[in-house]
Structure 1
């Protein structure tokens, strides 16, 4: 079985809007009330996937959820027509950020040699707390081969879990046993810590990981207070490389020491706070890049265009890429609509190490399928949405029709 990393990108949904629902996400709150452009946002996401296919990477998709979520509103005793205060949360397109869909432990790390996926409960934020049932349905369909996958329901909402955005895996190669790192929060000034230690411990048990090769690491309060609401805003790992901000972790020396003890070949690429501040790291989403292994060797950082527009960040990146380190290639992609709502290139994808032949092929894409997806988006997605438009029943019908057309094009009618 050939194990490779597959990036499953969330297709930006037709209800994409800027309602500023995510406390601690500085971009989302700063852009609250602005006009969003769902069609442009979704096509930007397709463009990123095309770029990654061009690099020789394996690419998958996860379709948007039904919006408004009438089941969630009904459980709260109301409807989309009546629930003015809850309406923005019921319409949120935040499931597009697939990095929060689940925590994934590849087969080489698990006791039963299957890839385990534990769906995130996302209970800290109301607009995301109702995503998990549809996410579970999608993942159980995409990874239905029980000889190779186990897909778990979320841990109880007693403890907040926000998925792979707070999880890293380091290894000699994707098909080799790895060290899995769960990053949790405790406090962050005025902002809530979204990943709880007990949730991380529960996921490690559910995913049947070896405790001797599993680390639980505290995110620094400074990072959370600066707007790093998830670990992937200040750190990202791939294979044997950890790319991180100097202030990402509460006890970086202890973490680095344990990591190198378990995986001696680990290379740590640390960006000094004296060169790139936490504020610049968050603004540019320097670390919310996709750090990927290229088929011809070496690693690339797939960065948002905003990284180049932040002088301190781009200057450091160019010097790093020109050196003798493991990251030699910088790739820029345009995901501005997602960025304005607080999600960069890494937020948009869930990484799954697996044999593509074991995945439901309807969730895998090539250029031809991306053409089909782009055609559906161009034909069906609303051009623009202001938060006030969410009260318009005509828009509700258009959003539902757009999703239905996409699912039909992907032959995924069972998700309708």
Structure 2
């Protein structure tokens, strides 16, 4: 049966700001306190979604979270009206307040781990929202993420939804940012690669020293069990602790896979040779595997991070051509641009690069791959997805009008305490759930 890899991009929320919340994410910290443009960020994301749709890709939209998260502030002891809660928290606990205003759900590679029906024993697509326990501002997301995913993929004949893992650092789970899938064809069974940063229950194992390893092997193994995966169709690979300490906070900052291609930096993994050998042994189908290993002398880890060379989307167009969707930062860096140009001339499936301006996201630490959640769908499953979330000319126009109506052009840190912001945000999200036919997924609607 024919299958497609659909991309569901996160719609940037109305409170998009640069608060520098993500320790271990160099770009996020470097741009802390700058003014942001929620309107520009949302429109950049929509332009990328529409461009991929126009290339023939199956493209969807994933709604943002409700922010500021006033429920969490009340849980933490702030009381009174919404305006009083916001202003009291901003004055007395500014670090906490900035966290509950984060628009980090735009990076939907962290929304969940998804296993296609070709890999699961019940032949359903399985979703497990990531708990994102390593960062407080992201740990606020999984409950609402689960509701949104269930509203998008509601048909229980085709889709299975799991509760996120326990909210504990032992089961720290960052979703698809540390997961990829290799296959001969999307419609066939595949090999799922889970990349972890540390062992939670064995402190003697290698681990980074400077920055946190956000994904544990215990979490990866638990998600694989929930999805019914077996030893035959999984590989667990440890991320190199040294590159985590250089700012590679997720595996998708240093490696990306698609179909029969794994594109990665030579320093990405701890035991590269053994992991690649296991992939070779388990890879299903008859397609030729391609390991594209970028040497440090070709592109350094620092340059890979600053340009997000690997935080690109590696996709197959309907023509069958495999291309890279890269941020313009890759085009503007002479060494990285030269590498990508030469790569497309080599004997690999990758034949072209398309560059996109996603600077509002890049400045906050997320490239094109961070902005999308990949879901392999056969034709029956595709028809079962909520059609209102699928990109087309009408939805593109409607969402741009919605952004123009509700989003601010400029947002500073001090603006986050403006009581009008929560009113604007809730009004926007209430209208969005009607546009996308999601029902009542936000707490203020329930």
TM-score in terms of structure 2 length: 0.91
Aligned to 1:206: 226
CA distance in 1, matches of 2:139, 2:348: 40
SS at match of 2:87: coil
Aligned to 1:378: 404
The Cα offsets for residues 97-134 of structure 1, whole Å up to 9 and x where unpaired, read as: 11000000000101111110111000110000010111
Number of equivalenced pairs: 416
Listed as ranges, the matches of 1:76-87 within 5 Å are 76-78=76-78, 79-84=85-90, 85=93, 86-87=96-97
Aligned to 2:388: 362
The Cα offsets for residues 144-172 of structure 1, whole Å up to 9 and x where unpaired, read as: 11111101111112210010000010000
Greater shift in the superposed pair: 253-262 or 65-74? 65-74
Aligned to 1:157: 167
User: Aligned to 2:124, which of 102, 109, 114?
Assistant: 114
Listed as ranges, the matches of 1:9-408 within 5 Å are 9-78=9-78, 79-84=85-90, 85=93, 86-158=96-168, 159-186=171-198, 187-263=207-283, 265-354=288-377, 355-408=381-434
CA distance in 1, matches of 2:327, 2:439: 33
CA-atom RMSD in angstroms? 1.2
Shift of 1:405: 2.8
CA distance in 1, matches of 2:22, 2:306: 16
Shift of 1:51: 1.1
Structure 1 contact 109–210 (Cα < 8 Å) conserved: no
Structure 1 contact 382–399 (Cα < 8 Å) conserved: no
Structure 2 contact 148–438 (Cα < 8 Å) conserved: no
Shift of 1:413: 4.2
TM-score in terms of structure 1 length: 0.98
Shift of 1:211: 1.7
Identify unmatched segments of 5+ residues in structure 1: none
Shift of 1:2: 3.9
Greater shift in the superposed pair: 217-226 or 333-342? 217-226
Shift of 1:324: 2.0
Structure 2 contact 33–413 (Cα < 8 Å) conserved: yes
Greater shift in the superposed pair: 68-77 or 349-358? 68-77
Which consecutive aligned stretches of 4+ in structure 1 deviate over 4 angstroms post-superposition? none
CA distance in 2, matches of 1:412, 1:176: 31
Structure 1 contact 111–210 (Cα < 8 Å) conserved: no
SS at match of 1:139: helix
CA distance in 2, matches of 1:82, 1:121: 28
Greater shift in the superposed pair: 55-64 or 187-196? 187-196
The Cα offsets for residues 381-405 of structure 1, whole Å up to 9 and x where unpaired, read as: 1111111111111222222222223
